[in-house]
Amino acid sequence: MAFVTATAALHWMWSRVNALIAPATYRAASSKATASGAEKPHVVFVLGGPGSGKGTQCERIVQEFGFVHLSAGDLLRAERAKPASKNGELIDKYIREGKIVPVQITCTLLAEAMALNPTKSFLIDGFPRNQDNVAGWDAVVGPSVNLDFVLFFDCPEATCVQRALQRGLTSGRTDDNKESLTKRFHTYESETMPIVNYFDRKGLVRKIDSTRSVDEVFADVKKVFAARK
Ligand code: ADP
Ligand code: AMP
């Protein structure tokens, strides 16, 4: 998928996503409901370093609170595995390098997955990871959903890397190795932390210390979800 300009990419993504989840009635409505009166889907973004425990906690949230879990990384890996995918090679290269895949690919995969569950609440894990992700989402999907908050798992690099290396013993992932993890953590600090800070300034971040045990972390996660309106 070669786009001449960022604008062309945005137009393409808009047309794809528009056909999936954003009928005109959704876009026109700025309130919590669509123009037809149906409530918009709820979204919680889940951010944190690679190995901070996002996927682990999302599994528990799904069981306890009935969200649909969409991991940007999982969707990209599934797309990469499709023999017919036009983007497979590109995704593979970005993942190995720990770099952020172009937003039109990630956002379209998320929108396609959301369209399969049009009335649900979504945990969107590992997104938005940079300014481009935020801009693409805001332009195309944002008006069609209610963003409840951003769940942020705070965990230092050493703990994240140790956990992800441990996961790498069985995950079969091409990026759970020391070299990729160093790059991934650098991308996280330079590109994703500014996004966490941006949402924090809007009062949307719910920060959780994820260095503790899975149960202790989940106890705090539960409090955050229980306080949800
Ligand atoms: P992420 O989705 O943020 O990359 P994962 O949820 O896949 O992270 O967790 C990475 C690894 O760390 C997994 O092997 C998981 O079992 C383990 N793990 C997750 N949370 C904890 C925790 N609180 N304490 C110890 N290990 C954890
Ligand atoms: P994760 O499974 O969240 O650890 O993500 C693994 C890799 O997938 C990342 O290092 C990126 O290369 C890619 N990726 C995950 N989420 C995104 C995203 N929101 N935007 C672009 N690339 C992503």
**Which ligand is nearest to the Cα of residue 210, counting in written order?**
1
Number of CB atoms found within 10 A of residue 7's CB: 9
Of 52, 90, 95, best ligand 2 pocket probe by most atoms within 8 Å of the beta carbon? 95
40-224 topology per CATH:
Rossmann fold (3.40.50)
Instruction: Give residue 67's pLDDT.
Output: 95
Ligand 1 center to residue 194 CA distance, Å? 23
Ligand 2 center to residue 41 CA distance, Å? 23
Instruction: Give residue 39's pLDDT.
Output: 80
What residues are in contact with ligand 2 under a 6 Å CB criterion? 50, 72-73, 76, 94-95, 98-101, 106, 126-127, 129, 133, 175, 184
Number of CB atoms found within 10 A of residue 93's CB: 12
- Reported as a single tens digit per residue, the pLDDT across 160-175 is 999 999 999 999 999 9
Instruction: Give residue 210's pLDDT.
Output: 98
Instruction: Give residue 193's pLDDT.
Output: 98
3-state secondary structure at position 32:
coil
Q: In sequence order, which residues have a C-beta less than 8 Å from that of residue 171 and are 6 or more positions away?
A: none
Atom of ligand 1 nearest to the CA of 213: 23
pTM as predicted: 0.89
| Ligand 1 contact, 48 CB (< 6 A) | yes
Instruction: Give residue 68's pLDDT.
Output: 96
Low-confidence ranges of the chain (pLDDT < 50): 1-7, 9, 22-30
Query: Which helix (H) or strand (E) element contains residue 1?
Result: none
Instruction: Give residue 119's pLDDT.
Output: 75
Establish whether the linkage from the previous residue to 156 is cis, with ω within 30° of 0. no
Instruction: Give residue 29's pLDDT.
Output: 36
